[in-house]
Chain A
Amino acid sequence: AQTVTQSQPEMSVQEAETVTLSCTYDTSESDYYLFWYKQPPSRQMILVIRQEAYKQQNATENRFSVNFQKAAKSFSLKISDSQLGDAAMYFCAYRIISGTYKYIFGTGTRLKVLA
């Protein structure tokens, strides 16, 4: 069975600094997608970034980038130039490339941004 593990329940970062959130997953599939979602206090789930497993190039979206290590089954999120608005719960999610398309989520990392 596929599982997603986020080993950091909480992280803190100074404003304007860089922080990396960790995510590991377990799967026997060779093709899949990985996502990072942000959940602010409003509880809305907001897609931050996505990565296709068949792509070797790491995805980047403005200040957000990932370090995807397929062999190690690792998918970390780097936030550069952290802003107060980045404070939220961050969830890593996995989805197989075909079939039901359900997401499997990790338990989340709460990110605090210190002014």
Chain B
Amino acid sequence: DSGVTQTPKHLITATGQRVTLRCSPRSGDLSVYWYQQSLDQGLQFLIHYYNGEERAKGNILERFSAQQFPDLHSELNLSSLELGDSALYFCASSVATLAGYSYNEQFFGPGTRLTVL
């Protein structure tokens, strides 16, 4: 158990709908990362939040958005869903001091499997 929790575990929805995925980082971790893993693919970086602020964006679609709340949990919002959005969505957290050299291992949650029908 990495200490990172994600809800829900599974989500089945229809095209055009909107869903929210939730992530609670490990206690004390300030950084949250979101990754997308399509079928039999590697993980693709979507977005990084540090202590409530967006730090970096990857190949995240405009239909997708995220935020990190004062209690440090994060939500990934996916709207106008398409069949191709079906994937496993991972959240990871790290201490991430952002200063100096730091190992900052990322700890991954169990993922949310999204199926768009």
Where the two chains meet, the residues of A that have a C-beta atom closer than 8 Å to any C-beta of B are: 4, 31, 33, 37, 42-45, 47, 50, 52, 91, 97-108
**Residue in A44, A101, A107 whose beta carbon sits within 8 Å of that of B104 in the complex:** A101
Within the complex, the shortest CB–CB distance from A72 to chain B, in Å, comes to 21
User: In the bound complex, do residue A103 and residue B103 qualify as a contact, i.e. CB atoms below 8 Å apart?
Assistant: no
**Residue in B44, B58, B90, B103 whose beta carbon sits within 8 Å of that of A45 in the complex:** B90
User: In the bound complex, do residue B101 and residue A103 qualify as a contact, i.e. CB atoms below 8 Å apart?
Assistant: no
Query: What class of interface size applies to chain B in its complex with A?
Result: 20 to 34
User: In the bound complex, do residue B43 and residue A91 qualify as a contact, i.e. CB atoms below 8 Å apart?
Assistant: yes
Residues 27-71 of chain B, each 1 if its beta carbon lies under 8 Å from chain A, else 0: 000010101000011111100100000011010000000000000
Instruction: Specify the chain B residue showing the minimal Cβ separation from A45.
Output: B108
Taking A101-B33, A103-B43 as given, write out 13 further A-B residue pairs in contact, using a Cβ cutoff of 8 Å, ordered by the A residue number.
A43-B113, A44-B108, A45-B43, A50-B105, A52-B103, A98-B100, A101-B104, A102-B33, A102-B48, A102-B56, A103-B35, A107-B41, A108-B41
User: In the bound complex, do residue A91 and residue B55 qualify as a contact, i.e. CB atoms below 8 Å apart?
Assistant: no
User: In the bound complex, do residue A47 and residue B105 qualify as a contact, i.e. CB atoms below 8 Å apart?
Assistant: yes
B25 at interface (Cβ–Cβ under 8 A)? Answer: no
User: In the bound complex, do residue B108 and residue A100 qualify as a contact, i.e. CB atoms below 8 Å apart?
Assistant: no
User: In the bound complex, do residue B48 and residue A100 qualify as a contact, i.e. CB atoms below 8 Å apart?
Assistant: yes
| CB < 8 Å A-B pair total | 59
Assembly CA distance A86 to B105 (angstroms): 22
Within the complex, the shortest CB–CB distance from A47 to chain B, in Å, comes to 7
Given the interface pairs A43-B111, A102-B33, the reply to whether A91 lies near B48 with Cβ below 8 Å is: no
The 6 A-B residue pairs with the shortest CB-CB distance in the complex, in nearest-first order: A100-B56, A45-B108, A105-B42, A102-B45, A107-B42, A105-B43
Measured between beta carbons, the chain A residues less than 8 angstroms from B13 are: none
User: In the bound complex, do residue A101 and residue B94 qualify as a contact, i.e. CB atoms below 8 Å apart?
Assistant: yes
Within the complex, the shortest CB–CB distance from B113 to chain A, in Å, comes to 8
Assembly CA distance A103 to B43 (angstroms): 9
30 contacts between A and B (CB under 8 A): A4-B42, A31-B101, A37-B108, A43-B110, A43-B113, A44-B2, A44-B108, A44-B110, A44-B111, A45-B43, A45-B90, A45-B108, A47-B105, A91-B42, A99-B56, A100-B48, A100-B55, A101-B31, A101-B106, A102-B33, A102-B45, A102-B56, A103-B33, A103-B35, A103-B43, A103-B92, A103-B106, A108-B40, A108-B41, A108-B42
